[in-house]
């Protein structure tokens, strides 16, 4: 048998195994990157939801204060309550 890789079964299997190992490694790296992206997206979503919840709370409190005292300015009440929620 010759040393030609296309005809030598041992060399062919070795080369094929190297190629498969490299593909496995690349697939693992891609999977790790994907999992990291998913975690980052989940964190960003959670932060956005927290911010939205704080704004809703501030708006509700501002409306409550406006009902108690109709002469109050809604904009400044909202800003005041929003600041309180951000500080928490």
Whether 85 contacts 57, CB under 8 Å = yes
Q: How far apart are CA 73 and CA 14, in angstroms?
A: 78
pLDDT tens digit string along 30-56?
888 888 888 899 999 999 998 999 889
pLDDT tens digit string along 49-82?
989 998 899 889 888 888 888 888 888 878 888 8
The pTM of this model reads 0.52
pLDDT band at residue 5 using 50, 70 and 90 as cut-offs: low
């Amino acid at each position: 048998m010759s040393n030609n890789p296309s005809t030598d079964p041992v060399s062919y299997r070795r080369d094929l195994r190297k190629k498969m190992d490299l593909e496995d490694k690349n697939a693992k790296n891609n999977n790790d990157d994907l999992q990291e992206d998913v975690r980052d997206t989940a964190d960003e979503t959670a932060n956005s939801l927290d911010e939205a919840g704080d704004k809703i709370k501030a708006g509700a409190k501002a409306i409550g204060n406006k009902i108690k005292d109709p002469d109050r300015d809604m904009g400044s009440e909202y800003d005041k309550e929003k600041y309180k929620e951000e500080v928490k």
